[in-house]
Structure 1
Amino acid sequence: MVGNPPAQNPATVTNTVILVASDSENTAKRIESHMRNAGHPVRVAWATTIEEIEDALSEGFFDLLLCAQGLQHAPLPDVVGLCSKLNPDLPVLLLADQYSDNATLQALASGARDQVSYEDDRHMRHLELICLRELSNHQNLRELKTARARLQDFESRHNELLASSVDAVAQIQEGILATVNPAFAQLLGYASEEDLISLPLMDLVSAESQAKIKEHLKLLNKGKAKKGPVEFNLLKEGGAKASVVAQIEQNRINGETFIELTIRPERRTKPGNSGGDGTSGRVAFLDALGEKLTAPHTQCSAAVFIAVDAHDSFEERLGFHDAEEAFVHLIEWTRTRLTPQDQLFRVSTGELALLVERKDLAELEKFCDSYCRESRQQIFATKNHEAQVSVSIAAHPYQETEQALNIANETIRAVRKLVSSGGKQHLIIGATAQNSVEERVESEKAEQIKKALEENRMRLSYQSIASLEGDTRQHYDVLLRMVDEGGTELTASDFIHSAEKFGLMRDLDRWVINRVLKLIEKRKSADVGSSVFVKVSEETLKDPEGFIAWLAEAVKARPLKADELVFEFQELRLQNHIRKAKSLTKSLREMGAYVAIEHFGVGTGSLQMLEHIPANYVKFHPDFTRNFNDKEQFKKMSQLMEAAKQRSMKTIVSHVEDANVMARLWQMGVNYIQGFQVQEPEVVQLTADPRG
């Protein structure tokens, strides 16, 4: 067989998803089974057509694609072309019934990476090794791209810092100015840095200094130059001389040697004694805050404390004098960010206090966030150092009823806590902020949900519901997930409350049901039948006519078969809308869907609920499992189980995480169980097999 061997120690395969395009789902299952039995925890998704492959690649993240030979609705050249468009780095392998050299040549000519086969155990082992090789290469490529992106980001930030530096900096290659920053151009009186690029350095050095600079550069190339600054004269654009003291060093980037010339400006601000920076102290701050509290205000007024992170280390690194000078520069920079109404106070060696007014809490948050970020980008030049400072900020929006000293104490404690926990953070505190922040967080989550729906970043996870009676039919509970913009997968509990608050549950319900209907359609030829349980929100329950009309249209092309789709409703929600619930569940049963009552047993009329709602399943509230050894709970559960059995309703117990509990549930006659003792939820992308 042709093919490069895998690396001797292939990278560990974790959280890997392989997409198999083939006519038979059994092929995908066989590959997944072989890989897992070989110790590789991969998940395999299955697709049959080029459209399904496109949907999967658009919505999910895959590490490898195997395309079956001769697939009518997904020819290999079309699949390779689609991958080049949607995911250029995704490796594609040709999957053949029987291995042949000609097929390998055709695969490579089509743009695939190699050919594999599943005709026997020997070829399955070959498939495993080739997959590991491609997965390892794919992982290395991703890491290389990440490293390149970080390097590009570093270079970009370096250039930004260079451009914003108060030091005049020039880089010289082979005697020619290759790069200068705005401060260097300003020092020599040039309007733009571009006017200096490509000029010989010696053309900018005055005649009396040229011999000195030439000798210094010669010694620098030989590695014999003395360390320390060099005093000489440069020529300004008009010919006037500029006396400078420069640090001249030799550096290398990407293997190329260059000379860097750095000229630090003379000190513009001399640190003095306490209060020499023009700011007042703590008493003045408290007096000013007290006056603010007695005056009416319509905007968001706040006390803001700014603390230099790790100030002791900062002072030890720079020295007492330079640390003070750097802090004075920070104060000067802070003044440029304040409005005429804002007030600034220096309350300790490394802490500032502000009294600010902003339009609203969002503007205050924006001010704190931008100050925190942009202060880290500044370079404060002192006599002997170039200092960068990181700060932490605590802001306390205040009301007239609060006390000045309490506000100051709470805010200074908050900012010092931020410093001790690592710094580089900002926080809005106080009762006003808390309520507003919570509202804003909920609103932001709602926007994230809308965007995730638009960008197909919702995912379905499936958890098995296991039969205790030997039922061969597969049962799965659908769990909703959302992938945020950073790639982190969130469970429903992280965002459902926001969806309910902002009226998004109807859209989420229908998105989930649409996906499940596609899954059911895809599984129609599966060897084993399955039932998929879908949770339905209160928002949908309150509009039975609209939901039934929508569902009827969704299943028009393929009517539902008995027990393949089960809608779950929480008991308390059914109880709150009993008439609508009766109408909705009746219509669902007529359409071929089944109904389940979940969180069953906690309502005041659980037994009566069984009379009103013709459910097929009842799923007990998790409290029954958590308090399984409680005699009263056990007795109530037994009574409810008996009532359900009398009505031919199947019983499900969830959150089963203990083998002993599972055994006792079997003795009680429970039909199905669900929980981590059975199977953890797994996320899949448009796969025909809910198990992933």
Structure 2
Amino acid sequence: MARLSGERLVHEVCNRPFARAGLAGEAGLDEAIAAFLRSGAARREADWQAGGAVERRHYRVTFARLAYRVEPVALVSFVDQTAEVRTEDTLRREMATDSLTGLPNRGGFADALEAMIAEGAHRWAVLMIDLERFSRFNACLGSMTGDELLITVARRIKGALRGRDVLARTGGDEFGILLAIDQEDEEADQVARRIHHALSTPFRLSDYEIRIGCAIGIAFGGNDTRVAEDVIRHAQVAMKKSKGSKAAEAYSTQALDSAREEFAMETSLRRAIENDQLHLVFQPICDLATGRVESFEALARWTDEGGSAYSPVRFIPVAEESGLIVPLGRWAIDTAARTLAGWDQRRGRDCGVSVAVNLSPIQLQRDNIAEVVGRALDQAGLAGRRLKLELTESAIIADPERMARVLMSLKALGPTIAMDDFGTGYSNLASLQKLPIDLLKIDRSFVTGMLHDRDKVAIVRAILSLAQALGMATVAEGIETVEVGQTLAALGCTYGQGWAYARPLEAEAAYAFLLERNG
């Protein structure tokens, strides 16, 4: 006699005679038992040797009061596994859930995507979202405030979605969204715009008001999609492109090809740095009043083993993205210092010029740049004043307080500190005044064509007035004609650089140019 009520998950074990009676099928288990009791087929089975073999199935059924007899040649037994299965379900949900936000994690998101693929949905989209500057907020304000920011961001994104859309936290500061497309792919763009709008309102955390942006990549799938991870990867490729464009980007095969080219370039560049296959060229910076060479800007050049030359416009961003800019920057500082020391030796004395080296924002953040510069000067036997260090406005505004400390430590070594591409960033005068900046470089975008554009002349005049007020020298980049150089000199610019004087030169040609100009 057995009495079970309610829905239970049971494990049925039946021996071969019971199975041969045709009563162990996928039909409801209670009907199978009833049929077994009515059947004489099982009781006619007399092969006791068959009793050792079993078949196993799981059923979710409703039991009522049931009486039956157990024959020796046909046996079925039931074990209630409800608690075990519920525990498994709970663990599975916990493994697929982000503990901080309560959203699906990367595994749960992939499961939802796999389910969408299995259903054969006609059209759908995956959006991958990466928060800008989150690591900086987390480091400055602490992990608890960072967690609070993530929870708030998740709520805002959720509020921008439709009820059936799936939002997941797929990484530290990365979120994924699964959208069912009803009609047009434009629906995904509309969701992306709503998310940008939702995040545009400042976040109030503790005593801070924080603005945080995001990069959004979109990839589309449909009933021909087979692998969930491919769609996620495509969306991440588009997300990387979005970081540069500052707008939501949809995946295209060209984007994947570009990403693959960058990875290949990264591998080749790492090998080139390790094998000393890069070299420096030097562009003269001349005194606009006298025409004498005041300094040279050192610029990296790379030609691979196959003889293909890569533009810095291509390989420098790859170096910054991959972190290779740190060893590349160290190499540039060391090589520039050694080259200048070599010119001094050939001249038999101080050759009268300095050399300028560009510092990347990534290099300033990740490397002990003061130690690198100090070591390079010591090894080359140069005074600190023989070196110029150029950095961009973006390097300063990323973390003004830290950059102030770094620049002070560099200034203590004696180099000239120059702000490159001035006028294209977002520096405020208050922070600029506090930093040990000696020289402003006027971006070429204001210099090129300035003789035919009154607005450009006005901008250049304003920068020169600012530099004079702050006691800074100035260098104008991109001077292509003598007339432009004369105009800049008349406006009060100190130095000039550009093809009107010389293109970037190999070290030997640069030394010859120095002797020719300076005697």
TM-score using structure 2 length: 0.48
